[in-house]
Amino acid sequence: MTKLRAHNIAVSLDGFATGEGQSLETPFGHAGGRLMQWFFPTHTFVSTSGHESEAVGAGTRGVDDAFAAASWDGIGAEIMGRRKFGPQQGEWEDESWRGWWGEEPPFHTPVVVLTHHPRRDLRVGDTTFLFRDLAPADALALATEEARGADVRLGGGPSVIRSFLEADLVDHLHVVVVPILLGRGVRLWEGLEGIDERFDTEATASPSGVVHHVWTRKPG
């Protein structure tokens, strides 16, 4: 059975998944890189980002890496919001933007990009981006078909995660609480009162200072 899984969703202790004032140069707004500091040293990031080098080494292999690596395990398709694909809004002016990831994106699977402005499918490396205007359940149905029996990753951003949680479609949620107070930005948890009752929850504190919260859907 295909599961819908969200991984590595970082939030500040006061609940913001991104800061205020997002732009092309500052995708997390005033949060800067602080929400992902735990992630950058991991082997998973270093090896998938092409940052491996003699200076950086091969990356850490502790609990942060264990959780980061799980994100890539058994995934056959991804669903992401348009803002994760690129900074454009509204109609596509042209189709020259091919994502943030250069000519070999790390996905290697179909990726459903949710947008009110569909465009032609785009193949980059061995990743295919499918631009669709779909409600959460329909997006999941398409991604499940594309995943051919493997799981589907819910890639974010926060408002996409929230809409799938509201629709009760998420089977596995990994949230990383970073001990900073951003004060403003986009809240992850808004309007989700009581959904914790549908999940078994577990928390693991990392020596890096963050806390990994893993929620898995209760059986039955």
Query: Shortest gap between Cβ of 211 and a second copy (angstroms)?
Result: 5
- The structure tokens listed for 68 are 């980061």
Residue whose CB is less far from a second copy, 75 or 186: 186
158 to each of 16, 39, 126, 201, 216, how far by Cα in Å? 9, 17, 26, 20, 18
Task: Note the helical H segments in the chain.
Answer: 43-48, 63-70, 82-85, 136-147, 158-166
Of 56, 135, 141, 192, which one interacts with a second copy (CB under 8 A)? 192
Does 121 engage in binding with a second copy (CB under 8 A)? no
What residues numbered 152-191 form the site for a second copy, per CB under 8 A?
A: 177, 179-184, 187, 189-191
Report in angstroms how near the CB of residue 19 gets to a second copy at its nearest: 10
Residue count at the site for a second copy (CB under 8 A)?
29
Q: How far is the CB of 136 from a second copy (least distance, A)?
A: 19
Q: Any residues with CB less than 8 A from the CB of 55 and at least 6 apart, and which?
A: none
Q: Which of 147, 108, 115 is nearest to 131 (CA)?
A: 115
Closest of 161, 162, 175, 165 to residue 204, by C-alpha: 175
Task: State which of positions 11-50 bind a second copy (CB under 8 A).
Answer: 13-15
H/E stretch holding 111 reads strand 110-114
Contacting range for a second copy; rule: CB under 8 A; set: 72-80, 97-105, 118-126, 211-219: 211-219
Contact residues for a second copy (CB under 8 A)?
Answer: 13-15, 177, 179-184, 187, 189-196, 201-205, 209-211, 213, 215
